[in-house]
Amino acid sequence: MFRFLTAGESHGQCLTAVIEGLPAGLVIDVAEINNDLARRQHGFGRGDRMKIEKDKIEILSGIRFGQTLGSPITLAIHNRDWANWQERMSAAGETVGPVVTSPRPGHADLAGLLKYERQDIRDILERASARETAARVAVGAVAKQLLASVGISVISHVVNIGGIVANQQINYTATELADKLKESELSCVDPAAEVKMKEVITNAKAKGDTLGGTFEVIATGVMPGLGSHVQWDRRLDTKFGGALMSVQAIKGVEIGAGFAFAATPGSQAHDEIFYDAAQGYYRGSNRAGGIEGGISNGDNIVVRAVMKPIPTLMTPLVSVDIVTKEAIKANTERSDVCAVTAAAVVGEAMTAIVLAEALLEKFGGDAIGDLVQAVENYRSRLGEV
């Protein structure tokens, strides 16, 4: 069973993640983890915090001489900004620094304050911050290396920012898509749309506003049979929905054609099935997004998620002071104008985590060789059907 926990505050000493369930013997490339952490920090419209932090992973346990041991893995990402926050975020002593009393609409500030009976919103906002996703990206990068050992890859790209929609008819292989994304500041493969996206981000920044958008995650090389139809919580689409919705500011998730099915007749909604001796069963389209009945069907898995505009606005919205109960402008923290590009990397990580969990649930294996052999045997068995 692949599982993980993260810990840490936005301005605390570090973020940590503990991963359990990885087979022993998996070779871990630290540079790949750091590359994904860097990708999360990039993107047109990111804020000043990204100029301070240069995220790098530190491995504290579970890996020796570059290979997993089968024991829990502990990862740490140190916050460089901790040097400026040591007194205000100290684990001991008296309160230092101003108390935050003006909750931001759209943030966890007020709901968290009421739930946990705190008097300083900082007690909530520090953990609720999307800074936490750096730890998830690190976990996802490890999960992607596990998936790669059996021929599965996961990649993401941005398809909409502020209502500017990228051309959905541009088709690339996973390798071509990865190469194209290296040329884009927004992880968008449509250059014309990217120009317009940058324009609306620039205009929003000038107004003290923020923008959201949509990203797409594609997993290739996924064999049929991950997930199950037999219980609601074992369905693969259940797990993707929960994983993507767990990302800060994500408000909607769709698989395959998703919400477009609402306006599509059944005769045009489903993927017709064919067979030939060379490739076995195949479908002429992929409107299902690679999942049917809660089970992967062998096509690419395609998941999209929509990110709402970031709730920290430089032109703040109206709120209420939690002490005086008087009307006040909402708190402003250092923030981004648009972080859809970063959210795509986080969504990619969460998709990889779900697939890693489903892979190990089906094939198990205490050693990486056992897992690889089990997958090869399964693929061979499918080829005989």
Give CA–CA dist 168/160, Å, rounded.
10
Q: E strand or H helix at 175, and its extent?
A: helix 174-181
Instruction: Count other C-beta atoms under 10 Å from residue 84's C-beta.
Output: 12
How does pLDDT run across 188-233, given as a tens digit for each residue? 999 999 999 999 999 999 999 999 999 999 999 999 999 999 999 9
How much is the pLDDT for 173? 76
Phi first, then psi: give them for residue 167, nearest 5 degrees.
-65, 115
> Exposed, middle or buried by CB within 10 Å (0-12, 13-18, 19+), for 174?
middle
For the four alpha carbons of 67, 69, 70 and 75, in that order, the dihedral sign comes to: negative
For the four alpha carbons of 206, 207, 209 and 215, in that order, the dihedral sign comes to: negative
Looking at the chain, the whole-number percentage of residues with pLDDT higher than 70 is 97
For residue 383, give the 3-state DSSP assignment: helix
Contact 354, 239 (CB under 8 A): yes
Q: With CA atoms as reference, report the closest residue to 347 among 304, 380, 311.
A: 304
Q: With CA atoms as reference, report the closest residue to 303 among 216, 245, 229.
A: 216
Token readout for 345 is 């990397």
| Structural domain span for residue 61 | 3-383
**What is the C-alpha end-to-end distance of the chain, expressed in Å?**
29
Give CA–CA dist 149/16, Å, rounded.
25
Q: What's the structural domain count of the chain?
A: 1
CATH code for position 163:
3.60.150.10
DSSP line for 9-73: -TTSSEEEEEEE-PPBT-B--HHHHHHHHHHHH-STT--THHHH----EEEEESEETTEE-SSPE
Residue type, 52: I
| Strand 213-220 relative to strand 164-165, pairing | unpaired
Write down the pTM of the prediction.
0.95
How does pLDDT run across 137-164, given as a tens digit for each residue? 999 999 999 999 999 999 999 999 999 9
Question: CA separation (Å) from 206 to 42, 47, 213?
Answer: 20, 13, 19
Give CA–CA dist 217/86, Å, rounded.
37
Residue with tokens 């051309």: 167
Give CA–CA dist 62/65, Å, rounded.
10
How does pLDDT run across 112-140, given as a tens digit for each residue? 999 999 999 999 999 999 999 999 999 99
How much is the pLDDT for 170? 67
Give CA–CA dist 283/271, Å, rounded.
6
Mean pLDDT of 108-114: 97
How does pLDDT run across 274-299, given as a tens digit for each residue? 999 888 999 999 999 999 999 999 99
Phi first, then psi: give them for residue 62, nearest 5 degrees.
85, -5
